[in-house]
Amino acid sequence: MLIASYKRPVSLVVLADILAFGLLFFYREPHDFYILGVGLLIITLIAGTYLFIVKKELGDEYLFLIVSMLASVGFIMIYRLNRGLGFKQIVWFSGGIVLFFLSYFIYIRIKIWNKLMYAYAFASFGLFLVTLVFGSNIKGSTNWIVIKGFSFQPSELIKILFIFTLACYLTHSEQIFLNALTLKLKQIKIKGRIALMAIVYMFMGFLVMQRDWGTALLFFIIYITMMYVFDADMKFLLLNVIIAALGGTAGYFALYHIRVRVVTWLNPWADIAGKGYQITQSLFAIGSGGFFGTGLGMGRPDYIPEVTTDFIFSAICEEMGIFGGVAVILLYFLLAYRGIKIVLKTGDTFKKAVALGITCMFGFQTFIIIGGVIKLIPLTGITLPFISYGGSSLTTSFIQLGILEAVSREGGQDEGSISDEGSISDEGR
């Protein structure tokens, strides 16, 4: 089975991993033999998972491939930066694959996902409240829960709940109100929208309270995107954008933290030793790499603060070059493209909305953090999906991927074929 699959694209991922782990093994003396074992484990895990997906016809076969390449890049970089974190990331990665299958099968097995809007919203607010009450402040954001030395970021899980909440509303907008209140259909819809808006702004409000601006922005973009696609009322959309613009402006003047972010974005050089330190160190790293990079292990990405999480893209650019960075961006683009394709193939509104939400979550999150570390947009600290170090981020990303995979299978079943790519792509016929 393995031999027969050498033509499949997974061989490229395996090849890249062999090269990277070989480099990691050789670049420093004394040689670290663990890395070879770990490399073998990773390669086996990726190849095995991939062949399982293909053989069992679980759905889109490229999603996992793209993601495993991204995760490989992340793992290689994290290991090179910090050996201990590298090993931990492997554990998260393995756990992520388990969660990927778990969420895949659970999602397919349970059929009432689209009727649980209140459950999602209440679970989210519950998690938010727990975070606010018991949360610890790590890196300036109060969005961590620490239990016996094990820290967890509930907002990562809330991302999924948020998508499901939106999808429920968009599928059955009547869910949002008790039947007793329905008098005319039209009225319900307008009221429903406003109620949904209130719920969304509550999500964002909690995030702002945790000073998690990046995720708040992300949620707003997802909300707008979903409303744009599934709810045709442009006036309402415009209203939301205006409210957000006003809110943003008010926040700029009222909240010192937001002002600082904008100021350091416009001119980080004015306070290079203080507020501008992170972003300028990031730019130094990207600039030092050039187009081809210094080579793995040859740069000094360890000068960048938060390099294994928020700023990992800068480290990739330093050692793998702008071309390496662009390759990573293109991989995310491919992921978004596959996601959108799944959305298009899916007929069921709820599943469509879920798939779109997850795809947008990956895509926009990537844009917000990469744009931030290269100073295209103001910096807001969120993780780079599948690459940044972190258990919460990696595992929940895999849960989302599992759900997306499940949707792809159900969407694909409409066509009667999944594994044979040739017959899928003839929508236009």
Partner 1 sequence: MKGAFRMKGAFRMKEDRKVIHILIVMSVLFLSLVVYLTYFELFVKDRIITNSYNQRQWEAEEDTIRGRILDKNGIVLADSPKTEDGWKRTYPHGSLYSHVIGYNSRTYGKSMLEASYNDYLLGSERGIFDFGNRDESGMRYGDDVYLTLDHELQKLASQLLGDRNGAVVAMNPKTGEILALVSKPAFDPNEDKLSANWQAMVESEDAIFLPRATQGLYTPGSTYKTVISAGALENGMEDLVIEDKGTVTIDGKPFSNTGKKAYGKIDMKKALAVSSNVFFSQVGVELGENVLRSLADRFGLGKDIPFEIPVTKSRFPYDSMGKTDMASVAIGQGKLQVTPLHMAMITSCIANNGVMMKPYMVSRVVSHDGDEIKVTEPSVLYNVMSTQTAGAIKLMMREVVKSGTGKSAAIEGVNVAGKTGSAENELTAEGEAKNHAWFISFAPVENPKIAVAVILEYSGTTGGGSAAPIARELMKAYLKK
Using CB under 8 A as the binding rule, the residues of this chain from 234 to 263 that contact partner 1 are none
Considering only 19, 181, 241, 330, the residue that binds partner 1 (CB under 8 A) is: 330
Q: Does 228 bind partner 1 (CB under 8 A)?
A: yes
Rounded distance between C-alpha atoms, residue 134 and residue 121, angstroms: 20
Half-sphere exposure of 109 (CA within 13 A, CB side): 6
Considering only 89, 281, 309, 396, the residue that binds partner 1 (CB under 8 A) is: 281
Considering only 123, 288, 305, 419, the residue that binds partner 1 (CB under 8 A) is: 288
CB-CB contact of 81 with 302 (8 Å) = yes
Query: Sign (positive/negative) of CA torsion 57, 62, 65, 68?
Result: negative
Report, in Å, the least distance between residue 186 CB and partner 1.
Answer: 19
**Residues ≥6 apart with Cβ < 8 Å to 393:** 153, 156, 383, 385
Q: Does 287 bind partner 1 (CB under 8 A)?
A: yes
Amino acid at residue number 153? Q
Q: Does 374 bind partner 1 (CB under 8 A)?
A: yes
Q: Which is nearer to partner 1, 138 or 234 (CB)?
A: 234
Q: Does 303 bind partner 1 (CB under 8 A)?
A: yes
Report, in Å, the least distance between residue 340 CB and partner 1.
Answer: 4
CB-CB contact of 357 with 377 (8 Å) = no
Report, in Å, the least distance between residue 1 CB and partner 1.
Answer: 29
Considering only 37, 126, 291, 421, the residue that binds partner 1 (CB under 8 A) is: 291
Find the part of the chain contacting partner 1 (CB under 8 A) among 111-119, 237-245, 337-345, 394-402. Answer: 337-345
Number of residues that bind partner 1 (CB under 8 A): 56
Considering only 194, 234, 266, 376, the residue that binds partner 1 (CB under 8 A) is: 376
Considering only 135, 154, 192, 363, the residue that binds partner 1 (CB under 8 A) is: 363
Find the part of the chain contacting partner 1 (CB under 8 A) among 107-115, 142-150, 174-182, 345-353. Answer: 345-353
Considering only 180, 273, 422, 425, the residue that binds partner 1 (CB under 8 A) is: 273
Q: Can the peptide bond before residue 30 be classed as cis, meaning omega within 30 degrees of 0?
A: yes
Q: Does 24 bind partner 1 (CB under 8 A)?
A: no
Considering only 206, 364, 389, 398, the residue that binds partner 1 (CB under 8 A) is: 364
Q: Does 297 bind partner 1 (CB under 8 A)?
A: no
Q: Does 299 bind partner 1 (CB under 8 A)?
A: yes
Considering only 119, 265, 329, 419, the residue that binds partner 1 (CB under 8 A) is: 329
Q: Does 225 bind partner 1 (CB under 8 A)?
A: yes
Considering only 75, 332, 389, 398, the residue that binds partner 1 (CB under 8 A) is: 332
Find the part of the chain contacting partner 1 (CB under 8 A) among 9-17, 258-266, 268-276, 400-408. Answer: 268-276
Q: Does 416 bind partner 1 (CB under 8 A)?
A: yes
**Residues ≥6 apart with Cβ < 8 Å to 49:** 64, 68, 97, 100
The closest alpha carbon to 59, from 331, 428, 404, belongs to 404
Report, in Å, the least distance between residue 277 CB and partner 1.
Answer: 8
Q: Which is nearer to partner 1, 43 or 328 (CB)?
A: 328
Q: Which is nearer to partner 1, 45 or 272 (CB)?
A: 272
Report, in Å, the least distance between residue 361 CB and partner 1.
Answer: 12
**Residues ≥6 apart with Cβ < 8 Å to 118:** 175
Q: Does 317 bind partner 1 (CB under 8 A)?
A: yes
CB-CB contact of 107 with 398 (8 Å) = no
CB-CB contact of 247 with 217 (8 Å) = no
Q: Look-up: residue for tokens 């074929």?
A: 417
Report, in Å, the least distance between residue 15 CB and partner 1.
Answer: 23
Residues that bind partner 1 in the complex, under the rule CB under 8 A: 225, 228-230, 232, 269, 272-273, 277, 280-281, 283-288, 290-291, 299-300, 303, 317, 322, 325-326, 329-330, 332-333, 336-337, 340, 343-345, 347, 349, 352, 356, 360, 363-364, 366-367, 370-371, 374, 376, 413-416, 427-429
